[in-house]
Structure 1
């Protein structure tokens, strides 16, 4: 019996169907070629930051009885006149100078106030050479700081602050005397103080010649004149002629 059982199992094994594992065929499907993705857009090129040269022009605060006026000095365009003004400032000889004249009698088209040494003439430095506006490239616009003179080359301490455009003061203006007055700076803050000086009381009799009716009574004293840093947001101004 044992022999019959072994034979029976052997026959069973021989007659059992073989299990075949299918081998996967390679995928031969033809697919269209895909285009590569477009490159990313280029990054924006930053705009160059303009290099702004620092403002090295001197600024001076004139502290007066009525308030403070800050002026900017065009020392590169009018070097002789600027150096003269700054010499009075730096030696403190301008302390005590006075605004003594207002040209209200000349009408709205010729408004200025004039200041200078009205005391000890020994404070005066020698007169300076004249720098006409056609050479400096500056102009007599409202707010301009300009040197007073009688004749070219005799200016010492006196200066104007213009409260209106006075283009006739330019050396190359039509109708000018061809020499004009030397502009060397302008008001940057305190224009309202200059207006107060312009509108201060006037003596009806003091003065000589064209100055009669233009003399302030009392004059307005410059208590101190000192260099100061450039005020924040100082305006570009008008004295530099457009190219």
Structure 2
């Protein structure tokens, strides 16, 4: 991933998260991301600690090149956890991931699959790789001030305006 802030190298694990890693790699290899960018930064400040959160990227324009959603691969299935530098795929309901991605800044264990609770989605998100070079670039993106007015109410204060374009390449 190349941005104006620098290069991020991600190692993907198709052997441990075949559906999620496969979708991401297929999207990149087939140039299905039309205008990929980092467009969202979630910032959390734990007491007495450094800022943690995530930077989210993927498609920023409607496209007919999207692939069908994939089944959910939980962290309990794969053993891949939301630790600093993990790359994961957001979703709404299980089985709705379509290729967006986020990179963890710090350990975000609350995004891993949790103990079941009635009426609560505790399945977490699907980690499929990790940053092996460029966490300084991820942190620099995480520090970009977000817009205070752009985005749906639940995401207001998290959206980058303008988004930070990404060039995606599979090696």
1:193 maps onto 2:131 in alignment: no
Alpha-carbon deviation of 1:217? Answer: 1.9
1:129 maps onto 2:71 in alignment: yes
Structure 2 length as normaliser, TM-score?
0.89
Query: Separation in 2 of the partners of 1:158 and 1:204?
Result: 22
Matches within 5 A, 1:22-171: 62-94=1-33, 96-104=35-43, 106-108=44-46, 110-171=52-113
Note if contact 1:138-1:183 (Cα within 8 Å) is conserved in structure 2: yes
Note if contact 1:170-1:179 (Cα within 8 Å) is conserved in structure 2: yes
> Per residue, is there more strand in 1 or in 2?
2
Larger Rg: 1
1:182 maps onto 2:120 in alignment: no
Per the alignment, residue 59 of structure 1 pairs with none
Note if contact 2:3-2:165 (Cα within 8 Å) is conserved in structure 1: yes
Note if contact 1:101-1:115 (Cα within 8 Å) is conserved in structure 2: yes
For these two proteins, the number of residue pairs brought into alignment is: 165
SS of the residue corresponding to residue 226 of structure 1 reads: coil
Structure 1 unaligned regions, length at least 5: 1-61, 229-243
Query: Separation in 2 of the partners of 1:174 and 1:203?
Result: 35
Q: Which moved more, 1:165-174 or 1:141-150?
A: 165-174
Alpha-carbon deviation of 1:95? Answer: 5.6
Per the alignment, residue 217 of structure 1 pairs with 161
Note if contact 1:95-1:225 (Cα within 8 Å) is conserved in structure 2: no
Alpha-carbon deviation of 1:118? Answer: 1.1
Per the alignment, residue 226 of structure 1 pairs with 169
Query: Separation in 2 of the partners of 1:198 and 1:173?
Result: 30
Structure with the larger RCO, 1 or 2 (CA within 8 Å, 6+ apart): 2
Per the alignment, residue 206 of structure 1 pairs with 150
Note if contact 1:168-1:174 (Cα within 8 Å) is conserved in structure 2: no
Per the alignment, residue 114 of structure 2 pairs with 172
Alpha-carbon deviation of 1:120? Answer: 2.7
RMSD over aligned Cα atoms: 1.8
Query: Separation in 1 of the partners of 2:106 and 2:98?
Result: 24
